[in-house]
Structure 1
Amino acid sequence: MNAPAWRIWIVAILMIGWGALTIRFATRQDWPMALLCAVLLISNGVTLYRLTKNGK
């Protein structure tokens, strides 16, 4: 897939944000929110993989 560079950057930044929120909620032992953030982190990881798997 030929994805525009801005979309790859946005997904990468979202992954960083969801990862940070996952760690924050996990350290506060707020497990439902930590699980939700982890699911969104994985979802964005899959999206990033699909955007970049073929290259340019």
Structure 2
Amino acid sequence: MNAPAWRIWLVVALMCGWGILTIRFVTKQEWPMALLCAVLLISNGVTLYRLTKHGK
């Protein structure tokens, strides 16, 4: 899949945000929100893998 560069950067930015939120919620011991953020982080990681696995 030839994904536009802006979409790849958007997914990378979302992954960074979800990772930061996951760490923040884990340190505050808010487990449901930490789990939700971790799931969204993994989901965006899978999306990024699918966008970049074939290259350009």
* TM-score in same-fold range (> 0.5): yes
Q: Distance in 2 between matches of 1:40 and 1:13?
A: 13
Q: Distance in 2 between matches of 1:38 and 1:26?
A: 10
| Cα displacement string for residues 21-40 of structure 1 (whole angstroms, at most 9, x for unaligned residues) | 00000000000000000000
Query: Pairwise mapping of residues 1-12 of structure 1 onto structure 2 (< 5 A)?
Result: 1-12=1-12
- Matched with 1:18 is 18
The answer to whether structure 1 residue 45 and structure 2 residue 15 are counterparts is no
- Matched with 1:32 is 32
Identity of aligned residues (%): 84
The two structures, once aligned, show a CA RMSD in angstroms of 0.2
Q: What letter matches 2:54 in structure 1?
A: N
TM-score (norm 2): 1.00
